[in-house]
């Protein structure tokens, strides 16, 4: 599976590339497994402090590989043994999408699971599901409103229309617009700045806080913040952060190390470990579907 996803590390930044240009980086279980394995490797590598996700060629990921879609249409849903599609949410390092081209279906889901999104001008987006006779898959109905609001999310889901990067930016679905030749470099530069100047343990804590606080109340968020503050305020990174600021130099922060934000706060990222088997059973009967999903 190595050739399905390429990983290049430079200056603390790993560039992870979905590498099926002959299939326009169409999603498949094999590509999914290779991508999640790449995230596992980046998580374990202390030399990686931020990750940029992009696609080979001129597309990011336009959804399910069309060849696979043709074979699963009408056969029902079978996700037996598949890992949690929300794996990126539990990744402890910044994850930046460099959307270099078409981004739809589960490709859009994976882009939304990144923390920050850069998009090439002219890149095309679509939720796609309704035009394939499918429900809003993989909880995009939860993800999308949190980025663009309920009405815009319903517009994009109900119409399944194609929209471009400029509209995606106006809606808040992406935060940066770049020229096509610059999108990857811009995302890498942003990631490199984080890798150079921000403490990995603090990044892991902040990422955990944002994603656990989405559905909680203010008091719960404060409890989690105070527990994490107790840990980070006592860690060497604080002294180094202050010293580097006073001395006007780049900080020398340690790796993520023992920062386990879930353990400190007692809260897991929502749905972070949920698999299809947990809901449907390991050999669930087929359910009504025209395409078995876009993954």
For residue 141, pLDDT over 90 is answered with: yes
Give residue 215's pLDDT band: very low, low, confident or very high (50, 70, 90): confident
* Domain 2-194 classification at class level: alpha beta
Percent of the chain with pLDDT over 90: 78
Q: What is the pLDDT of residue 74?
A: 62
Backbone angles phi, psi at 53, to 5 degrees: -105, 130
Percent of the chain with pLDDT over 70: 87
- Close Cβ partners of 49 (under 8 Å, ≥ 6 residues apart): 12, 13, 93, 94, 194, 195, 198, 200, 203
| Least confident range of 229-233, 248-252, 283-287 | 283-287
| Least confident range of 22-31, 60-69, 224-233 | 60-69
CA–CA gap between residue 35 and residue 222 (Å, rounded)? 34
Q: In terms of pTM, does the model score above 0.75?
A: yes
Give the residue range(s) of CATH 1.10.12 domains in the chain: 200-265
Q: What is the mean pLDDT of residues 8-16?
A: 97
For residue 185, pLDDT over 90 is answered with: yes
End-to-end CA distance of the chain: 17
* Domain 200-265 classification at class level: mainly alpha
Give residue 274's pLDDT band: very low, low, confident or very high (50, 70, 90): low
Q: What is the pLDDT of residue 257?
A: 79
* Structure tokens given for 179: 């020229």
Q: What is the pLDDT of residue 73?
A: 62
For residue 295, pLDDT over 50 is answered with: no
Give the residue range(s) of CATH 3.90.226.10 domains in the chain: 2-194
10 forms bridges with which residues in the sheet? 13
């Amino acid at each position: 599976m190595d050739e399905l996803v390429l990983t290049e590390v430079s200056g603390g930044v790993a560039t992870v590339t979905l590498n099926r240009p002959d299939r326009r980086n169409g999603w498949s279980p094999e590509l999914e497994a290779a991508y999640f394995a790449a995230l596992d490797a980046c998580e374990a590598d202390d030399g990686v402090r931020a990750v940029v996700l992009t696609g080979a060629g001129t597309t990011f990921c336009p959804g399910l590989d069309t060849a696979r879609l043709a074979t699963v249409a009408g056969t029902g849903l079978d996700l037996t043994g598949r890992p949690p599609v929300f794996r990126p949410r539990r990744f402890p390092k910044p994850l930046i999408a460099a959307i270099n081209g078409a981004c739809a279906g589960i490709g859009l889901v994976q882009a939304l699971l990144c923390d920050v999104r850069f998009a090439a001008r002219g890149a095309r987006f679509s939720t796609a599901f309704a035009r394939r006779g499918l429900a809003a898959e993989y909880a995009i109905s939860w993800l999308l409103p949190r980025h663009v609001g309920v009405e815009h999310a319903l517009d994009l889901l109900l119409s399944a229309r194609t929209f471009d990067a400029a509209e995606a930016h106006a809606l808040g679905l992406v935060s940066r617009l770049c020229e096509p030749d610059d999108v990857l470099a811009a995302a890498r530069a942003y990631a490199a700045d984080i890798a150079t100047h921000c403490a990995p343990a603090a990044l892991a804590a902040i990422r955990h806080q944002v994603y656990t606080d989405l559905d909680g109340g203010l008091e719960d968020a404060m409890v989690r913040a105070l527990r994490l503050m107790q840990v980070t305020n006592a860690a060497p990174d604080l002294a180094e952060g202050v010293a580097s600021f006073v001395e006007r130099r780049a900080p020398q922060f340690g790796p993520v190390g023992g920062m386990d934000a879930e353990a400190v706060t007692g809260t897991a990222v929502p749905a972070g470990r949920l698999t299809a088997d947990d809901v449907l059973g390991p050999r669930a009967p087929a359910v009504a579907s025209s395409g078995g999903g876009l993954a």
